[in-house]
Homo-oligomer: A and B are copies of this chain.
Amino acid sequence: MKIALDAMGGDEAPLININGAIEALETSSDLEVFLVGDAPTVDSLVERSGYSGERLTVVHADGFVGMEEKPTDALRQKPNCSIAVCWKMMAGGEVEAIVSAGNTGGVIGAGLRTRLFLKGVKRPGIAVVLPTISGRSVLMDVGANPGARPEHLAQYALMGSIFAREILEIESPRVGLMNIGSEDGKGTPLIKEAHDLVLRGPVAQNYIGNVEGRGLYQGEADVIICDGFVGNVVLKVSEGMASMMMEKVAHQVLGALNGEKTTAEQAFGRVGRSFEYNEYGGAPLLGIDGVCMISHGSSDARSIRNALHTAMTFKNRNVNQHIVEALAAQTAASS
């Protein structure tokens, strides 16, 4: 499988991408990675890494979308930046997947421009896997589509379910709608219409209805759908809260200890990293004709390696084919 990796994406780019690619290549003999970025820089780092195989190719790109840049402006000013080249390679069939830890708005913006949507998909969305008290859940969308319409949310219910089934291996994922009350008839017009659409759609059987915010980390559903504004706020509030809590709790608890302080400190470090760690290496943009993994800006080489592996699993499990077939069946049933 050929994957374009945005070498310039991430706070610690390009090094994490080069190391992550090499780690992934070592364990996957059918993987080929195209490192897209500033060729002189990336070439010299690859050389220094000592990698000598044939499955790592550097592709030159002019600049990249910086973390603090406004994506629309950056993409206009730098039409051949690293993420734009990645998408062009996928649109041209040169690669089957792309991975980027760069500016998320840039990844989405460059992607939506290619209009590389799966047949039947109205708007792609980002599906993120979050830890819960009992396991993990998928939250979708977390930012690709802040102005979602009801039919988009209904499609997220379907796409999120297929993702949860094929990648998280949850046989019949329970789907919930993020809402401000659990009873019927709650929420904004968007939410009420989405509720009705999901009830009449292909995941109706696994639909548990409204889920309040509290239910997300309590694992009340395997897939929770929301518009990209709400999902993005929830995801980022969670990050900020986790970091605040770890600091406050550690401070209080360590302050109470004497002899076993160091042991506790190490345990805090481990559990803190476990909250940050994402075994999938990133979040897929679901609904595109290809595979796009969006990794966190703070990714390390292991995250990038995991994102490359998830992209391979995504293809091997035929996630996109399942989505297209389910949407076609739905259209056929309702016509």
| Chain A interface residues (CB < 8 Å from chain B) | 70, 105, 131-133, 143, 146-147, 178, 180-181, 183, 185, 187-189, 191, 212-218, 226, 228-230, 232-249, 252-253, 255-260, 263-264, 266-268, 270-271, 274-275
* Cα(A4)–Cα(B136), bound, Å: 44
Give the residues in chain B near A237, CB-CB below 8 Å.
213-214, 216-217, 234, 237-238
**Would B185 and A70 count as touching, CB distance under 8 A?**
yes
**Would A241 and B242 count as touching, CB distance under 8 A?**
yes
| Residues A249 and B247 in contact in the complex (CB < 8 Å), given A234-B213, A238-B241, A263-B256 | no
How many copies of this chain? 2
* Cα(A257)–Cα(B266), bound, Å: 11
Closest B residue to A134 by beta carbon equals B244
How far apart are A135's CB and chain B's nearest CB, in angstroms?
A: 11
* Cα(A245)–Cα(B133), bound, Å: 8
**Would B105 and A181 count as touching, CB distance under 8 A?**
yes
Among A70, A188, A240, the one with the most B-chain Cβ atoms within 10 Å of its Cβ is A240
How far apart are A313's CB and chain B's nearest CB, in angstroms?
A: 26
How far apart are A264's CB and chain B's nearest CB, in angstroms?
A: 5
Q: Which 6 A-B pairs have the closest CB atoms?
A: A213-B236, A213-B237, A214-B240, A256-B267, A217-B244, A252-B271
How far apart are A202's CB and chain B's nearest CB, in angstroms?
A: 26
How far apart are A315's CB and chain B's nearest CB, in angstroms?
A: 29
Quick one: which of B183, B230, B242, B270 contacts A233, CB cutoff 8 A?
Answer: B230
Give the residues in chain B near A229, CB-CB below 8 Å.
180, 187-188, 191, 230
| Residues A259 and B259 in contact in the complex (CB < 8 Å), given A236-B212, A244-B218 | yes
* Cα(A215)–Cα(B146), bound, Å: 19
Quick one: which of B189, B214, B252, B263 contacts A267, CB cutoff 8 A?
Answer: B252
**Would you list 26 pairs from A and B whose C-beta atoms are within 8 A, ordered by A residue?**
A133-B247, A143-B180, A146-B187, A178-B233, A180-B232, A191-B229, A213-B232, A213-B235, A213-B236, A214-B236, A215-B240, A216-B240, A216-B241, A217-B241, A229-B230, A230-B233, A238-B241, A245-B275, A252-B270, A252-B271, A253-B271, A255-B267, A256-B267, A257-B260, A257-B267, A259-B259
